[in-house]
Chains A and B, each alone.
Chain A
Amino acid sequence: MPDKKLKRVDLIFSEDCGYKDVLAESLKMSNEKILQEILDSGLRGRGGAGFPTGLKWKFTSQEPGDEKYVVCNADEGEPGTFKDREILSRVPLKVFGGMAVCGKVIGAKHGYIYLRGEYQFLKADLEKALDEFHASLKESGFDFQIHILMGSGAYICGEESALFESMEGKRGEPRNKPPYPTIAGFRSKPTVINNVETLVYSFMICRIGAKKFQELGTADSRGSKVFSISGDTPIAGIYELELGMSLEDFVEEFGDGDTKAVQVGGAAGFCVPRKKFKDTIIGFEGVPTGGSMMLFNSSRSMYNVLKNYVEFFEEESCGQCTPCRVGCQQLKKGIEAVKKGDKSAHYLETLQKLAETMKVTSKCGLGQSVANSFSSIVDNFKEEMIY
């Protein structure tokens, strides 16, 4: 049972610190000290997968060679997520700050922001902020350059190895892993790739210290997180909340009084029905999320929701591996056939087996996570799939 209550936090967007002071102080700290702080804080990646940030930095810092890179993953494409756009438009300097601190720790001279094509309109302002940032870096005598590269509308490029491929001018098809990015990332060099929000938290941990960050959240999910809240809610928007609250508390705060299900973690995440709100913790010990929280009230057809997701995956599958390419097509065809009555309700079980097979056999996170939403919606709303 969750013991944390819903609590609003103000770290990411807080204006109480000049980024310049934090930057200057962090750049004076020893690499070991910064690394220890990030490790102690328990910060895990905020893009969704939740890999410990400190370990990524540590592994990369231990790699030999002086050509290393910091990459900021701003290819926010998960349906229902818009926090990175908000962070980049409101506190870009903190994002750059996190990149520079990471660059110092791992020994990189260049950082790249891979910005999704849908956010092209942010680029001019980001470049202006970058000029200011580069000037402050020059003052502090730290040699680090940040560049912006644009995506072109491919969801799969948010997968880290596909993102590197895209940065290298290729089709955004995920690579085989290992080797992991900490050993061979961009240009096959050791690379730290972090989500926009993770970089800001790293920067803020340099300011407030690991201890203060640790006080927030639970053993598995330290700290707070920025949530993108949409769907049937009277107060859609961006909220920074402490991790570890129950979904019941969450719905109490953000629901419209008639919430029947919440999709936690976007199309690649899980659908939680009302009866499970109470026992569901939002965090890595329960249902993790990259920030996407979509609320559905009882007027919504969960069949339409699932069909929308499956169509999304079918279109965004890169097509490289068969389980994902063919699996997505068949899942879509399958639920349509059951709905029409061309297939019996029993067929849903076959489809769920297919989704499980995709989870085991797909090459990357896209194909592996289709089963999350598919099975959780079919399991919990079976009658809506049939009638």
Chain B
Amino acid sequence: MPEIKELVKGLADKHGRTRESLLPILQGIISEERFISDAAMTEVARELDMSAALVYGTATFYSFLDTKPRGKYVIRVCRTITCDMKGKKQIVKTLEDLLKVNVGETTKDNKFTLLETNCLGWCHKGPAMLINDEAYTELTEEKVSEIIGDYMKNK
């Protein structure tokens, strides 16, 4: 996988090749690829001269460092109680209907992954979700349809 090799090398050049560089490098892979494949982890281990187990152990600790295949856009709906009280369940259902997947799954075209996550820090404007790094708040069914429609068409 020459592309992964290039990507990891570029990230290591930027962040360094010490243990402290590991998290920024893994985060860099996520922002490019949305998940860290086994091949990517082995490549990071080789580039940083550490064991692959160590890279795996670190990556799998963090919920945003996905090690399973993810779509181009990862949707994380906040499941904390205040968002739940403002209608998060309906928002998840709307997303499931629109994308035709269940929570935890990726669409067939690999464009969207639907996940739930813990408190996003938008409790006064719930329900809230992240699409990759972008936050969307005060969601309604209409708003969600609009946002997803826009991603489907334009991105």
Contact = CB atoms under 8 A, between A and B. Distances in A.
Query: DSSP majority for the A interface?
Result: mixed
B64 A152 contact: yes
Contacts of B125: 236
B35 to A, nearest CB: 13
A80 B26 CA distance: 29
Contact of B85 (A116, A119, A300): A300
Q: Which 6 A-B pairs have the closest CB atoms?
A: A153-B64, A236-B124, A230-B123, A152-B62, A169-B22, A153-B63
B21 A169 contact: yes
B134 interface: yes
B81 A309 contact: yes
B82 A172 contact: no
Given A167-B20, A169-B18, A308-B80, A118 B58 contact: no
5 contacts: A82-B121, A82-B122, A228-B123, A236-B125, A308-B80
Contacts, number: 121
Contacts of B30: 152
Contact of B123 (A82, A120, A121, A308): A82
A337 B78 CA distance: 26
A294 B119 contact: no
A152 B36 CA distance: 13
B59 to A, nearest CB: 9
Contacts of A168: 19-20
Interface in A195-248: 228-232, 236-238
B23 A79 contact: no
B118 A77 contact: yes
Given A169-B22, A172-B61, 19 more contacts: A76-B121, A77-B121, A79-B80, A117-B62, A121-B133, A149-B23, A150-B23, A150-B24, A168-B19, A169-B19, A170-B22, A171-B57, A232-B85, A237-B124, A238-B124, A294-B81, A305-B81, A308-B80, A308-B81
Interface string A151-175: 1111100000000001111111100
B121 A152 contact: no
Interface in A106-164: 116-121, 149-155
A236 B64 contact: no
B138 to A, nearest CB: 11
A85 B62 contact: no
A236 B62 contact: no
A169 B85 contact: no
A63 interface: no
A117 B27 CA distance: 9
A304 B57 CA distance: 33
A149 B28 CA distance: 12
A153 B124 contact: no
**Contact count band on A:** 35 or more
Contacts of B52: none
Nearest to B61: A171
B23 A166 contact: yes
A384 interface: no
A316 to B, nearest CB: 6
B124 A150 contact: no
B20 A171 contact: no
A316 B62 CA distance: 10
Interface in A298-315: 300, 304-305, 308-309, 312, 315
B119 A80 contact: yes
Interface of B: 18-24, 26-27, 30, 57-58, 61-65, 79-82, 84-85, 117-126, 130, 133-135
Contacts of A236: 123-125
Contact of A85 (B21, B57, B121): B121
Given A167-B20, A300-B85, A154 B123 contact: no
A266 to B, nearest CB: 8
A315 B134 contact: no
Given A153-B64, A231-B85, A309-B81, A316 B118 contact: yes
A8 B61 CA distance: 41
A169 B18 CA distance: 9
A316 B80 CA distance: 13
A172 B124 CA distance: 28
A166 B26 CA distance: 12
Nearest to A228: B123
A251 B57 CA distance: 45
Contacts of A37: none
Contacts of B61: 154, 171-173, 318
B118 A294 contact: no
A237 B126 CA distance: 11
B118 A155 contact: yes
- Most B CB contacts (10 A, CB to CB) among A151, A230, A300, A305 go to A230
A105 to B, nearest CB: 26
